[in-house]
Structure 1
Amino acid sequence: MRTTASFLRILGFSVFGYILLDYVGTTGETSIFIEKPWMWVLFGAIILFYIAGEICVAALKGVLYKTLSPEAKQRYDQREAQEREKEFRWVKEKYRKSLGSKAIEEEHEIILDHNYDGIKELDNNLPPWWVYMFYGTIIFAAIYLIRFQVFKEYNQAEEYEIAVAAAKLEIEEWKKTAKDLVDINTVTFLADASDLNAGQSIFKTNCVACHKEDGGGGIGPNLTDPNWILGGGIKNVFKTISEGGRDGKGMIAWKTELSPAEMAQVASYVLTLEGTTPLEPKAPEGAIWVDPNAPEKGAPEIQEVVSDSTTVKITMNQ
């Protein structure tokens, strides 16, 4: 039986089926095989069904072949041999021509006169594909020489600088959306509702055992007052979450459990608890934290407001 043809039919059916399912089923930029992994099961089932069909047809042919008479088997074998000879004739012919060699029956035309201990040598031509590739390298070299040596388009150093500049721009664009690159030096307060909601979820999962759900404090300190043991502000809170609290009695370091983005989210959520009213607030610990980067308060501004016959001086703190 012609197993090569069967294999190619299965391969062609598989490729065509994959492309068809992907084209028909994909609605966005992501392939349907990624959006819906169960499609692989469906695709595999279809391929297995097709392979089973090929096997059944081959088995049926084998059964029928056994029922033929010797003369019919001979005719069938001759017909199969002719069909195999026709298979991929065009491919075989192109392959033979690409080698640039002579058929065995024609080798006598290219045998050289000399021989070595009875070993004769054929004067075969170089394979055409090799010759064409060699000509292509000559053309490429000529174009390269004119472009870079005659017209001086750019040199390797300039090409490197252009590539580095383009790569830096791509890195900066990538950093804008790569939240997991955040660290103690680059972390900022995340005010988006999605980030704060994510931080709240992380807090409820990991922090309520020590700080209570409303942040009032238990084993850990109260997070709703302005007092901080290791400093307030997004950078200090992020560092405390990442590296842990005081040695021996502080909380554990969460950098092995949470990603940098998650630590930034929960740190931002913790800062929103300040000023809220918990049910059972723990006594303040640490010192009131003042942001050193906050704008300085100016001198009191005194304004006079005249109401009827009374002048009232109001002090406006900036």
Structure 2
Amino acid sequence: MKKYFQSLAYISFIAITFFAIVKAIMSYENPFSLYENPLVWIALVALILVVLLKELVNIVAQQKAEELQLEKDGIKPEEVDHWAWAKDLITKWTQAKAIEEEGEIELDHNYDGIKELDNNLPPWWLYMFYATMIFGVLYLVKYHVFNGDNQIVEYEKSVAIAKRELAAFKSTSKEAIIDMETVTILTDESDLNRGKAVFNLNCAACHLKDGGGGIGPNLTDKYWILGGGIKNVFKTISKGGRDGKGMVAWGKTLKPKDIQKVSSYVLSLQGTTPAKAKAPQGDLYEEE
């Protein structure tokens, strides 16, 4: 009766826990996130531990039963070779002869008393060798007879697929993707205020708060080193200035939205009169 209740409790626990885990996986957006849903992992670990513990108890009980049976049969448990199955498996997979049987495969010649045995190659080694031969033939036929895709073609196909998926994502995304091709200038006051805050925090050290220029160039005139306009300014902030002498790339630090806002704020400084305006640098930029 006790074993019956134990089995019933075990089966109930497994069923309820499994159902709860499946329900959580179907309900949560990120069910396997340790930080968002730690209870899912606790349930998984508990389920695995209970199953392993149950199996361990079964193995121990089976071993005890076998020992009792051996004692009834008059066999001492310590005389039983529990690794006999492993030894038989090794013998089959190596086809090694026992020392007593080595005379059957001993060759007639010897070298200074050193005798040579004519052992068979291990089956596992032969099977692997045959597998490499089959693989070699299939490889030859696929890539040298039927001209299968090489690494360059596979790479180009993967890039093409990625571009199609990106285009599809852009066309269906609820939120617009901002990059150097799609960026537009912002004029809303809240956006410009955000851009000004980003500028003062990251850009004012080199360009001064009024944009008049310090280490960096003057941002209030119509002369630009890497081109004016929202697209060029966005690109310069994202990718950085000239190699070795320009500013760092902010694309890894700032989000595209903030780069768009700070770019729009920079362009809003056009025509203002800073306190100490630096001399123009670069070329005169005319908006197309």
Larger RCO: Structure 1 or Structure 2 (Cα < 8 Å, ≥ 6 residues apart)?
2
Q: Which has the larger radius of gyration?
A: 1
- TM interval, shorter chain, is 0.3 to 0.5
The normalised TM-score by structure 1 is: 0.44
The normalised TM-score by structure 2 is: 0.47
